[in-house]
Amino acid sequence: MRRRAGVGAIHKQKLEQEKYKDKGNEIQENQFEQMTKQLEVFRANLEEFAAKHKNEIKKNSEFRRQFQEMCVSIGVDPLASGKGFWSVLGIGDFYYELAVQIVEVCLATNHKNGGLIRLDELRQRLIKARGQSKHHQEISKDDLLAAARKLKILGNGFSVLSVGKGQYMVQSIPGELSLDHTTVLQCADQNQGCVSVSLLQEKLNWECERSLKAVEYMLKEGLAWVDLQNPDEKMYYFPSLFYACVNSRN
């Protein structure tokens, strides 16, 4: 017959388990401390790098994007730092100014596009509004995305929508568009800025009711216009996509 472990053996085993647990906690704490020290070193090196390449960061949009990626990798957000070292770079001011200009363009074009504007069109309008002054840095799509995403602090009135590979639109009206609505935009983008219920059924394999519900909602929200003169069926046009369509013809 197998003998059961005695009280002493059980107590010894429990002490060993606690010892291993304490050792594990100690190792984790040491690792965390080492990682913290490494991050502090990275942060110091990043500040030194930023000071050395300040002008390139401010003037070169690609260099600025790479610098932001380095910041994100160690948990530093220069856009949210309005004081201290990062304020010396003026990067935060650049994006705050850009965000304000994005709002101005969106409000000025709301009556035309229903509050939905392509990132490409937004960039062209901003470049034109900013003029050719030497005091204005070059702005890239990455700059616009970074600034536009900061506008979320204003509530759900501003958001960035992905409508395909590398393609974005800025929404400047309250309410969030569903995945169906974004998919409709993607389909319209591939069809000269317009769709029909039958087209959505064919391209997306949707039921008629689902297709109609999506386009009618966007029509009600002012994001789409309807053409009732088409002899076959209603055509839904998206003015926010006209800019790209016109440019593709030129």
Per-residue model confidence (pLDDT) at position 62: 74
What sign for the dihedral angle of Cα 233, 193, 209, 116? negative
Per-residue model confidence (pLDDT) at position 207: 94
Q: How far apart are CA 149 and CA 142, in angstroms?
A: 11
CB 44 within 8 A of CB 122: no
Q: How far apart are CA 246 and CA 74, in angstroms?
A: 43
Class of the domain covering 177-250: mainly alpha
Per-residue model confidence (pLDDT) at position 198: 94
Tell me the percentage of the chain whose pLDDT exceeds 70.
69
pLDDT exceeds cutoff 60 at 4: no
Per-residue model confidence (pLDDT) at position 3: 53
CATH 1.10.10.10 boundaries in the chain: 80-172, 177-250
Q: How far apart are CA 58 and CA 60, in angstroms?
A: 6
As to burial, measured by CB atoms within 10 angstroms (0-12 exposed, 13-18 middle, 19+ buried), residue 43 is middle
**Mean local confidence (pLDDT), 76-97:** 61
Render pLDDT for 118-154 as a digit per residue (tens, 0 to 9): 999 999 888 888 765 445 567 888 888 888 887 876 6
Helix (H) or strand (E) holding 94: helix 91-113
User: Which CATH architecture does the domain made up of 80-172 adopt?
Assistant: Orthogonal Bundle (1.10)
Compare 243 and 179 and report the one with higher pLDDT: 179
Per-residue model confidence (pLDDT) at position 187: 92
Residue type, 165: K
Cβ partners under 8 Å of residue 96, min gap 6? 147, 150
pLDDT exceeds cutoff 60 at 166: yes
pLDDT exceeds cutoff 70 at 155: no
Tell me the percentage of the chain whose pLDDT exceeds 90.
17
